Structure 1
Amino acid sequence: MERSVDLNGAKIFIRVVQLESFTRAAAELGLPNSTVSDRISDLEKALGVRLLVRTTRKLRLTDAGSIFFKKAELAVAALTSAGEEASSFQRHPSGTLRITAPVDFDYTSICEAVIEYANKFPDVKVEMLLTDRLVDLIGEGFDIAIRASPLKDAGFTTKRLGEAGLILVASPRYLKQSSAISQPGELAIHQCLVVSPEQDANSLATWNLVSADGEIAKITPRARISSNSVGAIKHLALIGEGIALMPPTLVHGDISRKRLIRVLPEWSTAPWPSYLVYASQRNLSPKVKEMIPLLEPRIRNIIW
């Protein structure tokens, strides 16, 4: 039959034995003598054995008390050490920080935040997973996620970072050698680079564009090259192979460096939001708390 041991009672018992005095142990622990005596009596009752024999001048451990003391002292010391180590996680960033984001996200902004973070907190290992799979944040041990939809879970904080639709881009080289584009209908005569789903690669793509004034245009682009890889289509656009419809979060840096130019800047697809998801403030660890202010402004900066 298993017997439940009161941890506090065991800690009081250990200190009494170490100090060889109920009175000194009570004074050190800030407890009345009667409380110390009662807790040890309760411990003996729970264990079903006598642990101490007390005389007017000294204490003596029984055989059972001696065995219990030796093992309990080691166990309590280990538990105390474990508690102190666990508490340090709430004081200083440590351990492993895991971040996940969609494949078509501009990972350079995440990398900038990670580099600054790693220089500041070298004891933390940072892992990044870029995937379009819906990651189980709890089951797979992720601390921070960038998502296109909020996470409806009371244990998480969800911050809306902004919203953006896909935008048309092309390289300066392509635009220099091609006819000018002033309206969506003219895309039909241009070489277009199309992202196609792997399971339906042969279907005709449709670009549903919306102007800043709310005008709608449905375009079936002439797909010179198509691929299920957003990264591959971006690369083809960079080397001048045509016009691509891209997430602004993926091409923000290239536009800033003028490696890509926005085509029909008044047009995009309908916007969708982006969210930053992490543990609720109540459960927020230092390693996550220190990353949020580095990551959040960088992400907001690339969402138009």
Structure 2
Amino acid sequence: MDRFDAMQAFARVVEAGSFTKAAQTLHMSKTSVTQLVQQLEARLRVRLLNRTTRKVNVTADGAAYYERVLHVLADVDDAETSLSGASAVPRGRLRVDVPSPLATMILIPALPDFHEKYPDIQIDMGVSDRMVDIIGENVDCVVRGGELTDQSLMARHVGDLQLRVYAAPGYLRRFGTPLHPQELEDSEHRVVGFYWARTGKAFPYAMYKDGETIKVQGRYTLAVDDGNAYAAAGLAGMGVLWLPDYMARAHVIRGGLVPLLQDWRLDPMPLYVAFPPHRHVSAKLRVFIDWVVELMAQHAPVAASLAGAQFISNRPPAQ
């Protein structure tokens, strides 16, 4: 038995909650992972996991051992990256998940510069607006807009997306130009709906002007759960939509979208990089996060009033 492989397998089973998921993320067979954990338990002469037909739970001894294993794995990673100049040139596979518009419009176009600087980092990028199980799917980090709801994650606030209201010229010719947000609730106007994967519900937008606040939900004929599809629906004239500046800018210049209600203000949408709190933040993850911060400083910088709040823990305080 390779004790390091066994500890890695055990840690992934604890994090994923199943031997099957752990095997998938380790690119091993379920049988191999099971055997490694069994051999580890035999060597330690203690049961680390309770297995049922539905799930795997860590025992009290297993939980204590897991915390020690994390430190060992982190120390090994540090030792490897400190050799042969590896700490100066981070390397390895990095699994990330990012929203589709951010990937296609900002991150991927900038990746050649990142890989010129860090040629030994291999990125597996999931491109979606779905809710990702960071631990269960063994993802190193996710980039997400909006307030974080997962109380188990650590996060870095990397940007603020300024939202504005837009519609296609064809839509405005058919339905007219709204002069007040309330018209989007009370008239024949339609919005493009966006429902969040984590809730399955559409998102209301609060708009402000001179002490007045209007929350706009609107009525839609189409709702989507993907940012690129959302923009495409607006360009096709399916309704009024709210977009970050970076998504709308080129369409406004080309005449595909028209800004609306420009004297009304919307709260910016915070953008975070989130990652598991118990994981060792490797050199490759650190440089990736720093790179995202630099990119967003160009496209959607953190609001000045929030610039000091960089790292955020969503875990509740100890009682």
TM-score normalised according to structure 1 size: 0.54
Residues 113/104 of structure 1: CA separation in 2 closer, same or farther (3 Å cut): closer
Q: What residue is the counterpart of 2:220 in the other structure?
A: 223
Q: Which residue of 2 aligns with 1:87?
A: 83
- Quote the Cα distance in structure 2 between the aligned partners of 1:84 and 1:220: 52
Whole-angstrom CA distance in 2 between matches of 1:112 and 1:286: 23
What is the RMSD of the two structures over their aligned residues, measured on CA atoms?
4.1
- In structure 1, distance between residues paired with 2:252 and 2:281: 35
Stretches of structure 1 that go unaligned for 5 or more consecutive residues are 1-82
Larger Rg: 1
Q: How far did 1:85 drift?
A: 7.4
CA contact (8 A) 1:168 1:268 kept: no
Residue of structure 2 aligned with 1:171, choices 168, 181, 185: 168
Q: How does 1:94-173 map to 2 (within 5 A)?
A: 94-103=91-100, 105=102, 107-147=104-144, 148-149=146-147, 158-164=155-161, 166-173=163-170
- CA–CA distance in 2 between the matches of 1:273 and 1:100? 17
Alignment partner, residue 290 of structure 1:
287
**8 Å contact kept, 1:93–1:121:** yes
Within a 5 Å distance, the mapping from 1:1-304 to structure 2 comes to 87-88=83-84, 89-103=86-100, 105=102, 107-147=104-144, 148-149=146-147, 158-164=155-161, 166-175=163-172, 179-187=176-184, 188-196=187-195, 207-219=204-216, 221-248=218-245, 250-251=247-248, 254-255=251-252, 259-267=256-264, 270-277=267-274, 284-303=281-300
Q: What count of residue pairs does the alignment treat as equivalent?
A: 217
In structure 2, the CA distance between the partners of 1:297 and 1:259, relative to structure 1 (3 Å rule), is: farther
What is the DSSP-based 3-state SS (H/G/I as helix, E as strand, rest coil) of the residue aligned with 1:296? helix
TM-superposition CA deviations, 1:39-86 (whole Å, max 9, x none): xxxxxxxxxxxxxxxxxxxxxxxxxxxxxxxxxxxxxxxxxxxx6677
**CA distance in 1: counterparts of 2:280 and 2:195, whole angstroms:** 41
Which amino acid in 1 is paired with 2:109?
E
Match for 1:267: what amino acid? Answer: W
| 1:237 partner letter | G
Aligned in 2, Cα 1:225/1:142: closer, same or farther, shift over 3 Å?
closer
Structure 2 unaligned spans of 5+:
1-78, 302-319
- Residue 169 of structure 1 aligns with an amino acid whose one-letter code is Y
For 2:111, give the aligned amino acid.
Answer: V
Contact 1:193 1:244 in 2 (8 A): yes
Q: CA deviation at 1:162?
A: 4.0
1:127–1:224 distance in 2 versus 1, CA, 3 Å: same
Q: Percent identity?
A: 24
Q: What is the letter of the counterpart of residue 87 of structure 2?
A: Q
CA distance in 1, matches of 2:198, 2:291: 38
Q: CA deviation at 1:289?
A: 3.7
Contact kept in structure 2, 1:209 and 1:267, CA below 8 Å: no
Distance 1:214 1:274, change over 3 A: farther
1:211 touches 1:267 (CA, 8 Å); kept in 2? yes
2:264 is matched by which residue type in structure 1? W
Contact 1:101 1:130 in 2 (8 A): yes
TM-score (norm 2): 0.52
User: Per-residue CA shift, 1:195-235, capped at 9, x if unaligned?
Assistant: 3568999x9x6844321434222445342433444433321
> 1:189 offset after TM fit, Å?
3.4
